[in-house]
A and B are shown apart, each in its own frame.
Chain A
Amino acid sequence: MTPDGPSPAGPAVWVVVPAYNESRTIVESLRDLQRQGFRRIVVVDDGSTDGSGALAASAGARVVRHVLNRGLGGALGTGIRAAAELGAEVIVTFDADGQHAAEDVPRVVAPVLSGSADLVIGIRTLGREAMPWTRRAANLAANMATRLIFGVWCSDSQSGIRAMSRRVATALDLQGQRMEVSSEILHKAARLGLRTQEVSVRAIYTTYSLSKGQGVLTGLRTLARLILLRLSEKLS
């Protein structure tokens, strides 16, 4: 491991971390990534009001700041572009709320680095027993909605840990502003004929990470936005 990442001779791997009011967990999340050798990190401070951006900068990450909160989709789009401008060849997305384990990132990145997959989704199957049944049901509902609306199946359509090449990340041309972006990524990957692979990762469920995820109300909003996104595509 080196300061620039796990594979200095290989493609430059940048980790994009969207963050909105994550001051409680962001530093630890970044430290975990750095301990795994990932030093190329872009944090998108999505209009936080709790100093998340400054904390991320003090932890050694590059920080780009949204002057207004634009949601997960908007933040991911900005992070991908920032990483591309910084010379990323492989881009990893990683949530800032502490629900992902940085030690899983090398396994998520590996298929992209080896060229066996264009897009890798980290499926939160390990440690699922700690997941409340309501969240399990919500995730299943989200997977089924993604299947029904976009015709794509993924075992964890709302997972925030993914890896893709810069070419793929740019080609996805994300339009979703909020949580619906996760399903949009899968939909566009299928439409572009990309090779998508699922890799099991650990999910760390704490009261805090659960409070930051999609509850029932946010889930319903996401569902409505997915339907409207699909209708807009069909009618345009």
Chain B
Amino acid sequence: MSDAPRPSEADLHAVVDDQASAQQRAAVEAHLATDPADAARVAAWRSQRAALRAAFADLAAEPVPQRLTVAAVLQERRARPSLAWASIAAAVVLAFGVGGAGGWLLRGRVAASNGMRALAQEAMANHAVYAADRRRPTELGADQRDDLARWVSNRMNHPVAPPDLAAEGFQFMGGRLAATAHGPAGMFMYQDASGMRMTIFVQPTGDPRSSAPVTISGRSLDSCVWTEHGLNTAVVAPMPADKLRHLADRVRRALDG
């Protein structure tokens, strides 16, 4: 046995963690019998391991908070965006099919659903607050585009990324996760050369059908909103409705691409 090769450092740990084969273990034990320094180290690791396990035993025995349970998370997901669409919404400002904003594929409803209208309202409310904020309009800036996309996607359980609208003259500024009555939504903010700010507001919908864009008028702003790829999207900017529609069309294409 004395000619046996010295066990590796990894072998020593494997014995401590009970992950060694019988052969490894035998070799390590033989080595430790002749090497007091290594024997002391291994003994110290063993008691460390025992101490850590004992120290953390209580934590795993604590009851898990209710909101972390699978049942709670499932319920939270169900409660999220409206699976319960009100069939076809009625009185909406319908700007569909007007003004040569072609290219929209009409595969579903013509009018805005409740979810779309709600999102348009949230989008306008958020735009009014954040676009007006000169100091801190976004939580994550343009340099954190990927983190923002990941954050928003994770929280909404739906992959989404801010589109590149440089070709339309809009520079990406950043964005944030927004709270709505229907759960989390993503907000992406852009600015053109004149300093005008435009926001894109996205929220997943449980409805697989698409909906053509409609313009919803708020008190001081308009929002153009549509549904595609399981996502309600609203665009808000302080510009005339026809221009907003045109911009929304560009945004839709950029999101598609």
Q: Is B a genuine binding partner of A?
A: no
> Which B residues contact A (CB, under 8 angstroms)?
none
> Which A residues contact B (CB, under 8 angstroms)?
none
